[in-house]
Structure 1
C-alpha cells in the first residue's frame, strides 16, 4: 500500500452510452483517437500517470497541481477544436483536487480521489472544475482562467468544497494563429512494440512534448495525428528498446514522401524523465531548423508576383527569427503584403500588429511613420476580431492604454481576459508579461515569461522573453539576476539592445561602475542614437519608480541625456 499527497485529475466522457448506442464503430474510432492523439500525450507530457481507466473515464495522478490543471485545460481546448468529421464529437468533464491518495494493487482511493471524482461529476461538459486547494497552488498565468464557484455540496463529501470553475471555451476562441493554408506538420504518435507501461508512457510523453514545442513557433502549426490531410510535413518516430536501453528513430517526410531528416537518439529507461526532456529539446530543434531552411530556400526562389498571402505570412513569421530592425522591417513588409491580398487573414494581421507595436517600443520611428495609417486599419480590424482571436485583445488594449483611452486597471483586466482565454499560447503569455511589467507587477510578469519560455522555448521569441524577465528582475531590485538573464540572452542575440541597457543600469545600481560603462559602450555601438530622452519618448514608457531607477543607472553608466 502506497500513500501520498497528489493532484488528482478525474475525467469522464459525456454521453458515452448514448454515443456508443448510436454508432459504436465510429465512437470506438473516436475513442482510440482521443487516447492516442489528445488525452494520452497531454497527460504524459505534463508528467501525469494514469492509475485507473474505466473505458469512458480516467483517474490520473500528478505531483504538481499546476501540471494537472495545465494538462486538463490543454485537453479541453484540443477537444473544443473539434475532431474527425466521420466521428462523433467527444466532450469531457474534468475535476481536479489536491489530497491524500492511497494506491493498493490495481486500485486507488482516498480523499483526493473522492473529491476529484465528485468535482468531475458536478462539472459542465467542456469545463474544468478545481478545488480551493488546487486553485491556491496555481500561479498568475492560470488563476485568471477560473471563476469563483463558491461552496458546493458534493455527494458523500462531509464538508462543502470551495470550487473554482473554468467554463467551456467556445470554439471561436481556440482558433489557431495560422490560417487553414498555413504551414502544418503532423506528429504521428511515437510507436513502440514494447508493452511495458513505462515505455508506453514515455512514448506518449515524447509525442506530446514534441507536438507542443513545434506548435509554439508562430510560423508552423502542429497536430498529433497519423495522417493530416493539410499537413505538408509528417514526423514519424519509433521507440525501440532492449532492457533499459532505448533508441528513438525519427524520420521527417513531406506529403510526397521525400525524406528531409533522419536521425536517432539513444537513451536509458533509468533516466527516462531527463531523456524525455533531452529528446524534446534536441528533436524539436533539428526539425525546426530543417523545415526553416527548406521553406526559406523555397520562398527565396519564388518571384515576388508568385508569392501568395500564405507565402508572405510565412516570410513575415520567419523574419522574426531576428529581433532587430531588419527582422521587424521584414515582418511588417510581408504581413502588409499578405493583408493586401487577403484583408481578413488573421495570422498576417497578428504579425502586422506585432511588427508595428514592436517598432514603437524599439523606437524605429521611420517604420512607425511609414506604416501608421495602415496600422490604424489593422487595429480597427483587431477590435472587430478579438472575440475570435484572444491574442488580438492585447494589442487593442496596449494601444488604448498608451493613447490614454484606458486606465491601468482596464489594461490589467484586458491582460487577464487574454490569459483566461489562451493560457497555453506563448505569444499571449509573452505579451502579457510585457504588459504586467509596464504596470509595475514584476512577479506576475515573471510568471508569464517563465511559462512563455517553457511553451515557446524553440521560438525566435526567446531573446524578447528573456529581456522581459530581466526587466522584471530589475524592477524587483534583483540586479545580479537581471545581469545573469541578460547574459543568457546575449548568447542568443548579441544585438538585442534591451540586454545592454539592462546590464548597464544593473551594474550601475550595484556600484560596479567599470562594468556599467563597458555595457553602455556596447549599447551605443549597437544603438548610436540612444539617449535618455529617446528612451523616455518611446511608446509604453511611464515615470514609475522602477523606470526612474533604470534611467538613473543609465546616466551613471554614461548614457547621454
Structure 2
C-alpha cells in the first residue's frame, strides 16, 4: 500500500516546554513526574480539547499542538498559563513546574501524524524566548488576534531566530493585562526606553555595511532581553539609516529616553567599533566605549562586542536613572523614581549607601506594596546591609534575607536580578553553592548578557574548589562590563580562586590591590593568609593591621559577611591555619 503523500496546510502551532526541567528532575524525579502528569491530566489536555486542538507529539518536558484557529490556540495558551500561575501560588519557587509557550501561525507540512516546516520551527523558537509562565507569539498571531481577544501585547521587536532565514516580529502576551492594546513604548516613569540607531560604516568598504547592520540588530536583540529596559524595534530605528541624525529629534519621534549610536571602521587587519549612549532628555553622554579587535571570525567579533555593549548599557542606564530620578519633580509615579534611586545607590557599596537605599525602597513599597522591582531591590539592599555590617549577620537576619529573596523571585520570575538575589540566598544564607549557580543560570536564560551573574557564578565556583572555572567566569564578567562599580567583588572572587589553587603570589597581588583601593575586609583576610603562606613578614603585618583596623574584635574563626565559607573542609582549614600563622587572634 502506497504511503499517503505529504500535505500542506495553514495552522496555528503551539510549542511548550517546562522551564528548568533538568533541574527539577535532578532535585526530585518522582515529584516532578507526578506533578507534570497531574497538570497534563487535570488542566492542559482538557484545555487543548476544549479549544479544539490536537496534540501532535510530546517529549519528556514538552508538547507540540496544532490548532485550526489561531484564536483557539491563543485562548488555550492564556488559560493554561493563568491556571498554572494560580496553582503555583503556594508552591516554593524551586519546586514550581512552569511552562514556556511559543505560538505561531503559518504553512506546515503534514505527514502521517507528524508536522514539519518553518511554521513549526518558528513556534519552537518563540517558546525559547518566552519567560517561565509566559507566552511569546509571532507578529502574524498578534495581527490575527487584534480585536478578537481581550489581551495586551508587548512588542519586543524583530528577532533573529536560530535556523530561520528571516527576522520574526515577536510579541509577549501580557497575562495580567486584559485590554486590546499593543504597547510600543514606555515612558520614563515605567521602564527606561532606548533606541539603537544603525551603526555607521566608516570604512568605505561595502562588505562592512552588512557587519554594521548585523551588529546593530544583535545589540537590539541583546538589549531586548534585559528585563529592565524597553527597546525600540529594528524596523523603527532603521528608518534613520543613512540620514543625518539629531538625537533629540529621534528621541522625540520614538518616545525614548536614551539613544545609542556608533560606528564601524576597518583598517588593515583590525576592526574598530565605537558606541555611545546619550541621555536624550539632557543631551549628556552617559557612556562611551571603543572596541578594537583583530580581524578573525566576524561572527565571533560581533557576538563578543554585542554582549559587552549590552552588559555595560544595563549598568550605566541603572546609574543614570538613579541620578535622573533624584532630580525629577514629584509625579504620580513617585514609587518608580524612588526604586530607581534606591537601585542606583546599591552601587555605592558602603553602609551609608545601603542605609539610604533602604529608606528609599521602603518608602516606595509604602506607596506601591506589590511592585516586583521594589521587592527585588529591597532584598538586594538587605544583603548589602549585611555585607557592609550595617546589620548583624545573625540567624534571624539571614533568614529574613532569604525570605525577602524568595518574595522577590515569586513576584518577578522574569527578572534576572530576582534570580541573582535568590542565588545570594542559596549561597550566603544556606551555603548551597550548586543551587546558587543553577539560580544564576536561570537568570542568564532571561538575559545572557547580565555580567554580574557570571561574576557570582565565579564566586560560587571558587567556594566549591573549582578555581580555573571560577577565574574564567569572573574574567568573562569583567570583559562584558569593565566599568561596573561593583567589579571589585569579581576581583575578590579571582583572588579567592587563586588562593584555593595554592597560587599565593597571584592571590596576594589581587587581594592586596582591592584592599588598598577600598575598605573590604574579605580581601584583607585573603591578603593576610596569602602573605603568611609566602612568609612575607612585612606583608603579613600590614595585612593583619588592615584587618584589625576594620574590625578590632576579628578572630580567625569569625563570620565575615560577604565571605563565602569554602565547601571543601581542607580549603577552610588551610585558610584558618594561615590566618593563625599570620598572627590573627584566636
- In structure 2, the partner of 1:461 is 486
Tell me if the contact between 2:504 and 2:530 (Cα under 8 Å) persists in the aligned partners: yes
SS of alignment partner, residue 234 of structure 1: strand
> Are positions 1:311 and 2:320 aligned together?
no
Return the structure number with greater relative CO, CA threshold 8 A, min gap 6.
Answer: 1
For residue 482 of structure 1, report the CA deviation from its aligned partner.
1.8
| Residue aligning to 2:462 | 437
- Corresponding position of 1:534: 558
Residue 489 of structure 1: how far off its partner (Å) = 4.1
The 5-angstrom pairing of residues 41-440 of structure 1 reads 77=129, 94=162, 181-192=190-201, 196-200=205-209, 203-204=212-213, 207=216, 225=234, 226=237, 229=254, 231-237=256-262, 253-255=278-280, 258-261=282-285, 295=321, 297-301=323-327, 308-366=334-392, 375=401, 378-385=404-411, 387-393=413-419, 395-396=421-422, 398-399=424-425, 414=439, 417-418=442-443, 422-440=447-465
Superposed CA deviations along residues 319-375 of structure 1, whole A, max 9, x for unmatched, are 133322223333333333333333333333323222223433454435989977975
SS at match of 2:162: strand
What is the alpha-carbon distance in structure 2 between the residues aligned to residue 494 and residue 505 of structure 1? 18
* Residue number in structure 2 paired with 1:53: none
Question: What is the alpha-carbon distance in structure 2 between the residues aligned to residue 441 and residue 469 of structure 1?
Answer: 11
Structure 1 residues 170 and 468, CA, compared in 2 at 3 Å: closer, same or farther?
farther
Are 2:462 and 2:497, in contact at CA under 8 Å, matched by a contact in 1?
A: yes
Q: CA separation in 2, counterparts of 1:260 and 1:295?
A: 13
Where do residues 19-38 of structure 1 align in structure 2 (5 Å cutoff)? none
Match of 1:104 in 2: none
Structure 2 residue runs of 5 or longer lacking an equivalent are 1-7, 13-124, 144-154, 176-186, 238-249
> Deviation at 1:94?
3.2
Aligned pair in 2 of structure 1 residues 351, 450: CA closer, same or farther (>3 Å)? Answer: farther
Change (3 A) 1:460 1:351: farther
Q: Distance in 2 between matches of 1:284 and 1:413?
A: 22
2:540 to 516, 535, 542: 516
Tell which structure's C-alpha radius of gyration is larger.
Answer: 2
* C-alpha RMSD of matched pairs (Å): 5.7
Q: What TM-score, normalized to structure 1?
A: 0.56
Gaps of at least 5 residues in structure 1 are 1-14, 20-72, 96-119, 127-168, 173-177
Distance 2:313 2:422 in 1: 34
For residues 350 and 474 of structure 1, what CA distance do their matches in structure 2 show?
A: 33
The whole-number CA distance in structure 2 between the counterparts of 1:285 and 1:188 is 18
Secondary structure of the corresponding residue to residue 453 of structure 1: helix
Q: Deviations over 1:158-188 (max 9, x none)?
A: xxxxxxxxxxx9999xxxxx99813333221
Determine if contact 1:216/1:425 at 8 Å carries over to the other structure: no
- 2:580 corresponds in structure 1 to 555
Q: TM-score, normalised by structure 2?
A: 0.54
Residue 316 of structure 1 aligns to a residue whose secondary structure is: helix
**In 1, distance between residues paired with 2:226 and 2:333?**
22
Count of residues in correspondence between the two structures: 419
Verify: 1:482 aligned to 2:526, yes or no: no
